[in-house]
Amino acid sequence: MDKWKDVCRPTSEGGLGLRCMDDTVEAYSYKLWWRFREQNSLWVQQGSSPFGEGCSRLGLSAKELSDGCLEMAREGAPDFARVEDFWSNFGWMEEEIFDMLDEWGVPREVCEEILRVPANSWAKDITCWALTPHGNFTVASAWELIRHRGEKLEVYDLIWGKGINPTISVFLWRLLDNRIPVDAKVQWRRVSLASKWRCCSSSNVETRLHLFLNGEATAAVWKHFER
């Protein structure tokens, strides 16, 4: 059997497109935390006020969750790319922007693009979710952040193509992952089993490669389609 974490990956990464329940629950926990941080509804006030600032009836610490989310969201981002380093109460600090970003080799076009961003120093600050282009939280982006990942291979896109029957796609997926119960595979699982090549003049233990690629009957089929 395949490991559940490997099955619960997108088909392009060698999985079956399922979602692990643990990852889904954690993603919705992030959503709950986001609502506690960003909304001011009666439900949020009731859930947080009896337990002090930053806590909820669920026993989740908003500070611990926020620190964890921010740490993961900033992973891979350069330390110097912080708005607070280039911003004052009067607006963008133009000289600091050009000096600092020039030092790091950032093109001047990027600096000019930053300065063109409108800013209202009197407006209320809002929190933006760094994993979406519009800054709003989505469960899908949280799931993408925490899920188990695998290597993307072009062959997976081929076997899960739109024109292929799902039954055939699952069979090809099992074949690539060596999950077809040929005799050699069954014996590998310590099942006592007599085996032979049924479609060849010689005899040996039946394997996946022999059955689907190297066997006499199989080779004849492949040659037929090569013509």
Nearest residue to 33 (alpha-carbon basis) of 63, 71, 74? 63
Question: pLDDT digit string (tens) for 180-222?
Answer: 888 888 888 888 877 877 777 777 888 888 888 888 888 888 8
Query: Does residue 3 belong to any structural domain of this protein?
Result: no
The span from the CA of 92 to the CA of 160, in Å, is 49
Q: How far apart are CA 48 and CA 40, in angstroms?
A: 11
Give percent above pLDDT 70 in the chain: 76
Q: Is the pTM of this model over 0.85?
A: no
pLDDT in tens, 99-133: 877 777 778 787 788 788 776 666 666 777 888 88
The residue among 90, 89, 91, 115 whose CA lies nearest residue 101 is 115
- Are residues 134 and 68 part of one domain? yes
Give a yes or no: residue 63 inside a domain: yes
Distance CA 97, CA 62 (A): 33
User: What total of structural domains would you count in the chain?
Assistant: 3
Report if residue 10 sits inside a domain: no
Confidence of residue 2 (pLDDT cuts 50, 70, 90): low
Residue finishing a domain among 115, 147, 179: 147
3-state DSSP assignment of residue 92: strand
pLDDT band at 51 (very low <50, low <70, confident <90, very high): very low
16 assigned to some structural domain: no
Q: Do the domain assignments include residue 118?
A: yes
Residue 28, pLDDT score: 93
122 lies in which domain range?
80-126
Shared domain for 41 and 54, answered yes or no, is yes
Q: Is residue 213 part of a domain?
A: yes
